[in-house]
Structure 1
Amino acid sequence: MDNIIEDYFRCGFTNREILILLEESHNIILSLRTLERTLQRNRCKHLDVNRWMHQKCWMYGIITDRETVRQLMRLLDGQGVDAYNIRGPNYVWHIDGYDELKPYGICINGCIDGFSRKIIWLEANKTNNDSRVIASYFINAVAENNGYPQRIRIDRGTENNHIAEMQIFFREAGNAECVTIGPSTGNQRIERLWSTLRSQCIQFWMDHFEQLKEDGHFVGSFIDKSLIQFCFQHFIQEDLDETVSAWNCHRIRPTHNPRAPSGRPSIMFDVPSLYGVQNFLYPVDQTKLSICREDCIFKDYPCDEDVFQLCVELMAEHNLVMTNDVYEITDFYLRLDRQLILHGLEMDD
Structure 2
Amino acid sequence: MPANDIQDADLQGMSSLQLIVLYRQRDYSIREILGVMAIRHGKITSERSMFRVLRRYRLTRGQSQHSLEEIIQGILLELSASGENAGYRQMRQRLLINHGLAATFEMVRLILGLIDPQGVALMQAGRLRRRIYINNGPNFAIHFDKLKPYGLSIHGAVDGFSRRVLWLKCCDSNKKPMYISSFYLDCIREINGIPVQVYGDGGTENSIVRDAQMALRWTDADQYQGILSFVYVSSNRNVRIERFWRSLREMCGNVWMNHFKDMSDFGLLDTSDSVHLECIRYSFLPVISKDLNEVCNIWNTHRVRRNNRISCPAGKPEVLFFQPEVYSARDCKISLVDNRELHDVEREYSQRPPELGVSQEFLTIARAAVEDLNLQYQPRNREEGTKLFAAITINIERLV
TM-score (norm 2): 0.63
Q: Which residue of 2 aligns with 1:241?
A: 293
Q: Which has the higher contact order (CA 8 A, sep 6+)?
A: 1
**1:264 aligns to 2:325 (yes or no):** no
Cα pair 2:200 2:231 within 8 Å, conserved:
yes
Q: Which residue of 2 aligns with 1:206?
A: 257
Q: Secondary structure at the match of 2:228?
A: helix
Following TM superposition, by how much is the alpha carbon of 1:292 offset from its aligned partner in structure 2, in angstroms?
1.4
Following TM superposition, by how much is the alpha carbon of 1:315 offset from its aligned partner in structure 2, in angstroms?
1.2
Residues in 2 aligned to 1:332 and 1:219: alpha-carbon distance in whole angstroms: 16
Q: Which residue of 2 aligns with 1:63?
A: none
**1:316 aligns to 2:371 (yes or no):** yes
**1:292 aligns to 2:345 (yes or no):** yes
What stretches of structure 1 move > 2 A for 4+ residues in a row? 173-177, 255-258
Cα pair 2:214 2:227 within 8 Å, conserved:
no
Cα pair 2:151 2:277 within 8 Å, conserved:
yes
**1:342 aligns to 2:394 (yes or no):** no
Alignment of 1:209-224 (within 5 A): 209-220=260-271, 221-224=273-276
Equivalent AA in structure 1 for residue 340 of structure 2 = T
* Matching residue within 100, 108, 118 for 2:154: 108
Cα pair 1:89 1:279 within 8 Å, conserved:
yes
Following TM superposition, by how much is the alpha carbon of 1:176 offset from its aligned partner in structure 2, in angstroms?
3.7
Cα pair 2:215 2:226 within 8 Å, conserved:
no
Gaps of 5+ in 2: 1-131, 220-224
**1:87 aligns to 2:136 (yes or no):** yes
Residue deviations 1:94-127, cap 9 Å, x none?
A: 011123x1xx210001000000000000010000
Equivalent AA in structure 1 for residue 286 of structure 2 = H
Cα pair 1:272 1:278 within 8 Å, conserved:
yes
Alignment of 1:119-130 (within 5 A): 119-130=165-176
The change in CA–CA distance for 1:89 and 1:320 in structure 2 (over 3 A counts) is same
Residue deviations 1:227-248, cap 9 Å, x none?
A: 0000001111111110000100
Gaps of 5+ in 1: 1-82, 345-349
Equivalent AA in structure 2 for residue 343 of structure 1 = L
Cα pair 1:95 1:190 within 8 Å, conserved:
yes
Residues in 2 aligned to 1:271 and 1:112: alpha-carbon distance in whole angstroms: 17
Residue deviations 1:164-222, cap 9 Å, x none?
A: 01111111255442111110110011111000000111001100011111111111111
Percent identity between the two aligned chains = 27
Equivalent AA in structure 1 for residue 287 of structure 2 = F
Equivalent AA in structure 2 for residue 181 of structure 1 = Y
TM-score (norm 1): 0.72
Q: Which residue of 2 aligns with 1:159?
A: 205
Following TM superposition, by how much is the alpha carbon of 1:258 offset from its aligned partner in structure 2, in angstroms?
4.6
**1:186 aligns to 2:259 (yes or no):** no
Cα pair 1:96 1:154 within 8 Å, conserved:
yes
Residues in 2 aligned to 1:340 and 1:215: alpha-carbon distance in whole angstroms: 19
Q: Which moved more, 1:307-316 or 1:113-122?
A: 307-316
Q: Which moved more, 1:324-333 or 1:260-269?
A: 324-333
Residues in 1 aligned to 2:312 and 2:329: alpha-carbon distance in whole angstroms: 13
Equivalent AA in structure 2 for residue 143 of structure 1 = R
Q: Secondary structure at the match of 2:256?
A: helix
Equivalent AA in structure 2 for residue 296 of structure 1 = S
Residues in 2 aligned to 1:176 and 1:168: alpha-carbon distance in whole angstroms: 5
Following TM superposition, by how much is the alpha carbon of 1:225 offset from its aligned partner in structure 2, in angstroms?
0.3
The change in CA–CA distance for 1:84 and 1:191 in structure 2 (over 3 A counts) is closer
Residues in 2 aligned to 1:280 and 1:263: alpha-carbon distance in whole angstroms: 19
Residues in 2 aligned to 1:274 and 1:122: alpha-carbon distance in whole angstroms: 27
Residue deviations 1:45-91, cap 9 Å, x none?
A: xxxxxxxxxxxxxxxxxxxxxxxxxxxxxxxxxxxxxx973100000
Following TM superposition, by how much is the alpha carbon of 1:307 offset from its aligned partner in structure 2, in angstroms?
0.6
Following TM superposition, by how much is the alpha carbon of 1:255 offset from its aligned partner in structure 2, in angstroms?
2.3
Equivalent AA in structure 2 for residue 190 of structure 1 = I
The change in CA–CA distance for 1:286 and 1:211 in structure 2 (over 3 A counts) is same
Q: Secondary structure at the match of 2:330?
A: coil
Cα pair 2:133 2:309 within 8 Å, conserved:
no
Equivalent AA in structure 1 for residue 141 of structure 2 = V
Q: Which residue of 2 aligns with 1:23?
A: none
Residues in 1 aligned to 2:294 and 2:308: alpha-carbon distance in whole angstroms: 29
The change in CA–CA distance for 1:298 and 1:213 in structure 2 (over 3 A counts) is same
Cα pair 1:130 1:159 within 8 Å, conserved:
yes
Residues in 2 aligned to 1:280 and 1:131: alpha-carbon distance in whole angstroms: 26
Residues in 1 aligned to 2:308 and 2:186: alpha-carbon distance in whole angstroms: 35
Aligned residues: 259
Cα pair 1:84 1:261 within 8 Å, conserved:
no
Residues in 2 aligned to 1:153 and 1:110: alpha-carbon distance in whole angstroms: 12
Q: Secondary structure at the match of 2:198?
A: strand
Following TM superposition, by how much is the alpha carbon of 1:153 offset from its aligned partner in structure 2, in angstroms?
0.4
Cα pair 1:84 1:115 within 8 Å, conserved:
no
Residue deviations 1:256-285, cap 9 Å, x none?
A: 225232011001100111111111112233
Q: Secondary structure at the match of 1:254?
A: coil
